[in-house]
C-alpha cells in the first residue's frame, strides 16, 4: 500500500538491449518492472548490433512504459518524478529512452532525473529490502564494467578498483563464442560449467599487484591458446571442463579482490551488482567467502542484476531527495 506522501518514480532504461520501465516507491518498493529483451534478435549476430538495438527500443518504448504504469496502477499525474539512464551505454539506444523520458517530464511538468548506469546497478541492492544501507563495498560486474566501488553514502561513492582491460561479462561472452555457445555467454557458460570440473585446467589468475584492479584479457587468451593447442595435438578436452575452469578463474579473481578491498577499507558489508552477479556460482562463492570473513553480503534478486529500470528508479529517488534534477537539454554519453 502506498499513500500520497510516498515518492513514486517512473524510470526508463535503454542503455543496451533491454527496453525497460519501472515504478518504484521511495527508492525501495518495486511496484512494476517491465523488461522487453531484444536478446533473441541479437543472438543470431553473436552480440548486440547497436543500430538494431536503437530501432527495437523505438518500437517497444511506449508499450513498455504504458505497461509499467498499468501494472503499478499509477496514473501519470500521480507520479513525482521521471528518471532515465543517460549513460554510459550505446548512444543510439540511450537517446531513445532519454528523449521519451524528457517528453514525459516536460508534458507532465515533473522533475527530471538523469542517472548513470553504474550508479543504478549499485542501487539494485536497495530494491525490495529495508535494512541494507551504505556504507558497503560493491562489486559491479556487467558486460561493460568490472569495478569495485566503496559506497560511502547513497550519493557518495569512490571507485577503488576496475578492470584494466576486458569487463568480466565481456570475458564470459568472448570465451562463450570460442566454445560455440550463443550470446549472451555468461548464462551459457554457467550451464556448461555445472557439468564440468573447475580444477581440470589451471587457468591463470591475473596478478595486478597490491591494488584492487582486475584483468581478464590474459585469461581469455589462455583459454583460446588452450583450445587451439588441444585441437592441434588432437587431444579431446571436455568443453564442460574448459567452461568450469574458466568460470572458477573469474570467480576467484572477483572474490579475492572484493574481500581484500572490503578489509582494506574497513567495510563490514559487501554487495554484488550487474549482469554477472546473476551467476549462481558467483553468488555461492561470495556467500561462502563472506561468511568465512564475517562480512554481511547483499545479493539483489537476479532480475535486478541484469539491466532493468527498477534500479534506475531507486538511484533516482536518492537524487530526488537531494533535489538533483537534470535540465531537459542534457545529453546521452557513451563512456564513463
Ligand atoms: O548488466 P548487464 O545486463 O548489461 C550490461 O550493463 O552490460 O550484464 C550483461 C552481462 C553479459 O556479459 C552476460 O553474459 C553477463 O552479464 N551474465 C552472466 C550471467 N548472466 C548474465 N555472466 C555470468 N553468469 C551468468 N549467469
Ligand atoms: Zn548493465
Mean pLDDT (whole number) for 203-225: 90
* Closest residue by Cα to residue 155 from 112, 122, 111: 122
Give buried/exposed letters for 103-115 (b at 16+ CB in 10 A, else e). Answer: ebbeeeebbbbbb
pLDDT at site 208: 72
pLDDT in tens, 312-326: 999 999 999 999 999
Give the helix ranges, DSSP H, for the chain. Answer: 39-43, 50-72, 91-108, 117-123, 168-178, 185-193, 217-233, 239-264, 280-292, 302-305, 310-321
Contacts of 313 (CB under 8 A, 6+ apart): 9, 10, 11, 22, 23, 24, 27, 30, 83
Expressed in angstroms and rounded, the spacing between residue 126 Cα and the centre of ligand 2 is 16
CA distance 135 to 153: 6
Cell of 141: 560486474
pLDDT at site 311: 98
pLDDT at site 209: 76
Which ligand 1 atom sits nearest the alpha carbon of residue 282? 24
Q: What is the mean pLDDT of the chain?
A: 96
DSSP tag of 197: -
pLDDT at site 268: 97
Mean pLDDT (whole number) for 94-103: 98
Mean pLDDT (whole number) for 74-91: 98
Mean pLDDT (whole number) for 143-167: 96
CA distance 283 to 214: 18
| Atom 26 in ligand 1: residue holding the nearest Cα | 279
Residue 226 scores a pLDDT above 60: yes
Radius of gyration of the chain (CA): 20
pLDDT in tens, 100-111: 999 999 999 999
Cell 572484493 belongs to residue: 258
144: Cβ below 6 Å to ligand 1? yes
* Closest residue by Cα to residue 139 from 28, 213, 193: 213
Residue 210 scores a pLDDT above 80: no
pLDDT at site 134: 98
pLDDT at site 206: 77
Q: Residue 10 — very low, low, confident or very high, per pLDDT cuts 50/70/90?
A: very high
Mean pLDDT (whole number) for 282-311: 98
The residue to mutate among 89, 184, 188, having the most atoms of ligand 1 within 8 angstroms of its beta carbon, is 184
Residue 31 scores a pLDDT above 80: yes
Mean pLDDT (whole number) for 193-197: 98
Question: Concatenated DSSP letters for 30-73?
Answer: EEEEEEEE-HHHHHTTTS--HHHHHHHHHHHHHHHHHHHHHHHT
Contacts of 112 (CB under 8 A, 6+ apart): 81, 82, 83, 84, 101, 102, 105, 106, 325, 326, 327, 328
CA distance 118 to 105: 23
pLDDT at site 2: 57
For residue 158, how many other CB atoms are within 10 A of its CB? Answer: 10
Q: Residue 165 — very low, low, confident or very high, per pLDDT cuts 50/70/90?
A: very high
Residue 156 scores a pLDDT above 70: yes
DSSP tag of 276: G
Q: Residue 4 — very low, low, confident or very high, per pLDDT cuts 50/70/90?
A: low
Contacts of 312 (CB under 8 A, 6+ apart): 11, 12, 13, 22, 83, 84, 85, 115, 120, 123
CA distance 14 to 42: 15
169: Cβ below 6 Å to ligand 1? yes
CA distance 19 to 36: 5
The residue to mutate among 276, 280, 299, having the most atoms of ligand 1 within 8 angstroms of its beta carbon, is 276
Residue 3 scores a pLDDT above 70: no
187: Cβ below 6 Å to ligand 1? yes
The separation between CA 292 and the C-alpha centre of its own chain, rounded to angstroms, equals 26
Amino acid at each position: 500500500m502506498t499513500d500520497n506522501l510516498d515518492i513514486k518514480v517512473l524510470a526508463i532504461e535503454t542503455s543496451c538491449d533491454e527496453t525497460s520501465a519501472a515504478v518504484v516507491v521511495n527508492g525501495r518498493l518495486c511496484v512494476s518492472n517491465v523488461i522487453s529483451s531484444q536478446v533473441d534478435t541479437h543472438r543470431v549476430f553473436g552480440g548486440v548490433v547497436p543500430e538494431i538495438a536503437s530501432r527495437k527500443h523505438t518500437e517497444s518504448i511506449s508499450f513498455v512504459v504504458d505497461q509499467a504504469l498499468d501494472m503499478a496502477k499509477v496514473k501519470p499525474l500521480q507520479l513525482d518524478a521521471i528518471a532515465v539512464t543517460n549513460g554510459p551505454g550505446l548512444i543510439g539506444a540511450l537517446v531513445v529512452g532519454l528523449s521519451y523520458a524528457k517528453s514525459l517530464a516536460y508534458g507532465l511538468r515533473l522533475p527530471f532525473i538523469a542517472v548513470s548506469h553504474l550508479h543504478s546497478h549499485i542501487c539494485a541492492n536497495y530494491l525490495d529490502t529495508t535494512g541494507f544501507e551504505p556504507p558497503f563495498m560493491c562489486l559491479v560486474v556487467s558486460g561493460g564494467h568490472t569495478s569495485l566501488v566503496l559506497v560511502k553514502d547513497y550519493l557518495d561513492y569512490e571507485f577503488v578498483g576496475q578492470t584494466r582491460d576486458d569487463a568480466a561479462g565481456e570475458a564470459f561472452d568472448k570465451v562463450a563464442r570460442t566454445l560455440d555457445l550463443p550470446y549472451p555467454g555468461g548464462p551459457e557458460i554457467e550451464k556448461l560449467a555445472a557439468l564440468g570440473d573447475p580444477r581440470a585446467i589451471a587457468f591463470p589468475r591475473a596478478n595486478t599487484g597490491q591494488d584492487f584492479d582486475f584483468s581478464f584479457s590474459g585469461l581469455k587468451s589462455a583459454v583460446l591458446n588452450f583450445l587451439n593447442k588441444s585441437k592441434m595435438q588432437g587431444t579431446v578436452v571436455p568443453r564442460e571442463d574448459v567452461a568450469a575452469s574458466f568460470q572458477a578463474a573469474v570467480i576467484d579473481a572477483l572474490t579475492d579482490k572484493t574481500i581484500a578491498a572490503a578489509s582494506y577499507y574497513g567495510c563490514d558489508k559487501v554487495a554484488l551488482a550487474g549482469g554477472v552477479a546473476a551467476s549462481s556460482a558467483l553468488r555461492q562463492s561470495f556467500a561462502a567467502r563472506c561468511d568465512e570473513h564475517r562480512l554481511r553480503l547483499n545479493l539483489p534478486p537476479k532480475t535486478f542484476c541484469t539491466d532493468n529500470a527498477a534500479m534506475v528508479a531507486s538511484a533516482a529517488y536518492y537524487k530526488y531527495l537531494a533535489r538533483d534534477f537534470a535540465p531537459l537539454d542534457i545529453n546521452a554519453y557513451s563512456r564513463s
